[in-house]
Amino acid sequence: MSRCSGFFLLLLGSPVWGSSYWQDQPLTPDWQQYLQQSVQLKQQDQQQFTKELTALGLTKALAAPKAKNFGLEAISSAAELAAVLSYQTPSGGWSKRTDMRQPRRPGQWAGAEPAYIPTFDNSATSSQIRWLMNYYPQADGAARQRIRHSLDKALQFLLQAQFPNGGFPQTYPLRGGYHDAATLNDHVMTDLLSLLSDISQSPLFSTEQQQQASQSFQRGVQFLVKAVVVLNGRPTVWTAQHHPLTLAPVAARKFEQVSLVSTESAKLLALLLGKASDQPGVHRTLCYGALWLQQHQITDKKWQRTATGSSLVPEKGRVLWARFYSLKDEKPVFFDRDGQTYSDVNQLSLERQQGYGWYQSEGKAFLKAWAKRPELQQQCAPSQQELGHATKAP
């Protein structure tokens, strides 16, 4: 192995078979095929990049420029189109936290975080696909051909990345660890399923591609229906990560331990309400999800951060939720970099209090949309009787 290829493989992370998810459960043929496909795509990306470095006489890749949100929020010119296309990997995806205003240079990483190339985290890949779809009408003939080629490859990438059961990992090809979990965190599932739904109706794609996207969307919806966490015999909402095979809740980083999540759950419920309310199992999921959010909303308070800490302070009319809730008693929980669980946000280090959104208000938008669907609410009567009257979190 050459020096440059060894360097590249090291930064890609551990091989897929090093992830515990794939070692603690028997693998059916479709999962075995999925994992082998991931290995092959990773090798494809590696080989092409290694070839590029060798041709340039480089033994170390050049760093890619960093940006919080890619340096742009849409493609508005031919130059920006060329730059975004230059960062697409051979496998078909894009990276995150990378400035895509200027074209990738030969020998340069395709992303500012080499181990995360490509990924769905922080809306990467889904953003670039949407940019290309939106820019297509104003592109000239030659540019349209390039966009179509890129979109074809990107859609194939999405279809390949989806688990056989309908979930999606955080990064693909797989790289091990919690990144291989079925990821709801930071709206990965919401972004991808919403995109697939739009692709299924977009004239930019062939009838076959539209059907593939529609089927992929439906598999994702059924994954969500099955993954809802059941506590004491009743459905609730979701956790940020689920085991890709068993769908059981799993942890990610030390300050993201196993817990029910309010924000991602609210976004997913809104997606189901708007795009899949008639699919099997979805209505029941919506009923219990809405009730869970109603039970756990914190009213007439806002979360205030200062240089010395944070606190909930009175403010009439405000509604929010803690980011995480314990699976044991469904009360707010908070995590620090030591991996410990705390019941009060002020028990965290100042760095974690200020560096993470421990209270959020995404649930309000879903409950507002849900209130406009009385025909669906009326069918929730058995669920409401089973749960009893909703109680609000303190």
Q: What is the pLDDT of residue 116?
A: 79
Q: Which of 27, 50, 25 is nearest to 38 (CA)?
A: 27
Helix axes 141-161, 78-86, angle to 10 degrees: 30
308 or 85: which carries more pLDDT confidence?
85
Is pLDDT of 7 > 50? no
388 or 46: which carries more pLDDT confidence?
46
Q: What percent of the chain has pLDDT over 70?
A: 92
Lowest mean pLDDT of 73-82, 236-245, 336-345, 375-384, name the range: 375-384
**Integer Cα distance of 188 and 190 in angstroms:** 6
* E strand map for the chain: 182-183, 230-231, 234-235, 241-242, 260-261, 298-305, 310-322, 324-325, 334-335, 341-342, 359-360
- Are 107 and 51 in contact by the 8 Å Cβ rule? The answer is no
Alpha carbon of residue 5 to chain centroid: 29
Average confidence (pLDDT) over 356-383:
91
Q: What is the pLDDT of residue 190?
A: 98
Q: What is the pLDDT of residue 381?
A: 65
pLDDT tens-digit series, residues 62-110: 999 999 889 999 999 999 999 999 999 999 999 999 999 999 999 999 9
Contacts of 160 (CB under 8 A, 6+ apart): 37, 41, 92, 172
**Integer Cα distance of 133 and 9 in angstroms:** 33
Is pLDDT of 16 > 80? no
**Integer Cα distance of 325 and 108 in angstroms:** 42
Is pLDDT of 268 > 50? yes
Average confidence (pLDDT) over 229-254:
95
Average confidence (pLDDT) over 25-29:
92
- Which domains are delineated in the chain? 3-225 (1.50.10.20), 228-394 (1.50.10.20)
